[in-house]
Structure 1
Amino acid sequence: MTAANAEVHRHLQNWHDWAHHTLILTGPEGSGKTAMAAAFEAESGGLCLDDAAEYEDTEIFHLWNRANGEHKPLLLLSSKPVSEWEIMLPDLKSRLAASLHLEIGAPDQAMIDGLFQKFFAIRGLTISEDALRYLEKRMVRSYAMVRQLAQKMDALAIESKKPINLAIAKSALGFFDADDEKVDI
């Protein structure tokens, strides 16, 4: 947990305080929604629906009624804001509007560092501090960019048979900068 998602964690731990016992959590892919939901389910015994925007109104409505009937909190996850869910049932629309809404914003530097370290630790690798400091000043701050850079650095490290160091970070970031320049032409 970092400052980037501290408010979300606080609300997930205080689910007893949720309006209508429902929280709608939105944020970009890779921002940790699913991992937070798993921890929430284990701690609260509540119900979760991942990619809620992709479900039919009636499915969400039945889950809402089930959660209320069983006196359990309900966590709805989506990469889309509720305004883009295309909800047609008036009763569901009003219930969702009255629920607590939280959005996971862009990652802060501590989150970016942690995500890189986690990505490489899973592969039995590390990323050097100078590589992290280089990237922090130059990369786009998004969960998608962290994932793309990590994958590119991993591929470059395998190709060159070298650890994830400053040279690998520069090469990986240069790859994305070159792509950006191609798009602008």
Structure 2
Amino acid sequence: MAEQLVFDLPVKTAFGRDDFFRSAANEAAVAAIESWPTWPLGKMVLAGPAGAGKSHLAQIWAEMVEGSVIAANGDWDARDIGGAVCVENVHAIAGQRAQEERLFHLHNIQAQQERPLLMTGQGVPSGWAIGLPDLASRIQGSLLVQLGAPDDRLLAAVFLKQCADRQLQVEPGVVDYILRRAERSFVGMRDLVGQMDHLSLQRKKPIGQGMVREILAQMELDT
């Protein structure tokens, strides 16, 4: 039977507070987000690997404080930001002078107005190679909270959430099978679910261990 053509449709990601799974790997980050009024100087850096839940926690925090979330390299003007704000993926603007100066200006405005500032990024601030010394010192002088490496419970929750975001149904036993064999990272889990979604739609078949075995073998060949 010919395989069906597949169109890449947008994935609706659930960012509600009830959609976030708490575990030992992220408990410290959740506690820090919830205690935002006690942040030293009203600012915090939330760091961790890609797909670890930084964006989800940023959305939870923004809803909690009635603030906004913006991308560090997005189209915005520091003078137009009102209230609490989270700037995501600060590591992505390293070496980009105009973007670094804009974030530095926003940082100063938030401090002067005594409005909270949350920043997120991959790795740790000391490794972001921010070229503007004043901005680098302010970022590194912020409270730093890191998301830990995922345990089995968190990886399983991430997998099931991403399946739910894509409205995917998996057969019994698939989660345990994946936890024993798949790459133990958030990015690896995200890529696996994307491949599962594509192949399931293409073949019009449910996701079982056989399909997952095939995808994992192909992903290993591609690395």
TM norm. shorter chain > 0.5: yes
Identify unmatched segments of 5+ residues in structure 2: 1-21, 68-83
Tell me whether 135-144 or 63-72 shows the greater mean CA deviation.
Answer: 63-72
For residues 108 and 84 of structure 1, what CA distance do their matches in structure 2 show? 25
Q: Is the 8 A contact 2:126 2:140 kept in 1?
A: no
Match 1:157 to one of 158, 179, 200: 200
**What is the TM-score of this pair, normalised by structure 1?**
0.86
**What is the TM-score of this pair, normalised by structure 2?**
0.72
Superimposed CA distance per residue, residues 5-44 of structure 1 (whole angstroms, 9 cap, x where no aligned partner)? 1111110001122222211112222222122111111212
For residues 102 and 171 of structure 2, what CA distance do their matches in structure 1 show? 47
Q: Is the partner of 1:24 in helix, strand or coil?
A: strand
Q: What does residue 101 of structure 2 align with? A: 58
Match 2:180 to one of 133, 137, 161: 137
Q: Is the 8 A contact 1:27 1:78 kept in 2?
A: yes
For residues 117 and 70 of structure 1, what CA distance do their matches in structure 2 show? 41
Q: What does residue 125 of structure 1 align with? A: 168
Q: CA deviation at 1:80?
A: 4.1
* Pair 1:30-2:51 in alignment: yes
For residues 143 and 60 of structure 2, what CA distance do their matches in structure 1 show? 19
Letter in 2 for 1:41: A
Q: What does residue 183 of structure 1 align with? A: none
Q: Is the partner of 1:141 in helix, strand or coil?
A: coil
Q: Is the partner of 1:49 in helix, strand or coil?
A: strand
Q: CA RMSD of the aligned region, Å?
A: 2.0
Tell me whether 81-90 or 28-37 shows the greater mean CA deviation.
Answer: 81-90
For residues 125 and 171 of structure 2, what CA distance do their matches in structure 1 show? 40
Superimposed CA distance per residue, residues 67-109 of structure 1 (whole angstroms, 9 cap, x where no aligned partner)? 1222221101112421233334444333222211122233222
For residues 116 and 88 of structure 1, what CA distance do their matches in structure 2 show? 37
Q: Is the 8 A contact 2:48 2:54 kept in 1?
A: yes
Q: Is the partner of 2:23 in helix, strand or coil?
A: coil
Distance 1:127 1:106, change over 3 A: farther
Superimposed CA distance per residue, residues 93-152 of structure 1 (whole angstroms, 9 cap, x where no aligned partner)? 332222111222332222222222222223332223411101111111111110111111
For residues 208 and 113 of structure 2, what CA distance do their matches in structure 1 show? 52
Match 1:42 to one of 36, 60, 63: 63
Q: Which has the higher helix share?
A: 1
Distance 1:93 1:122, change over 3 A: closer
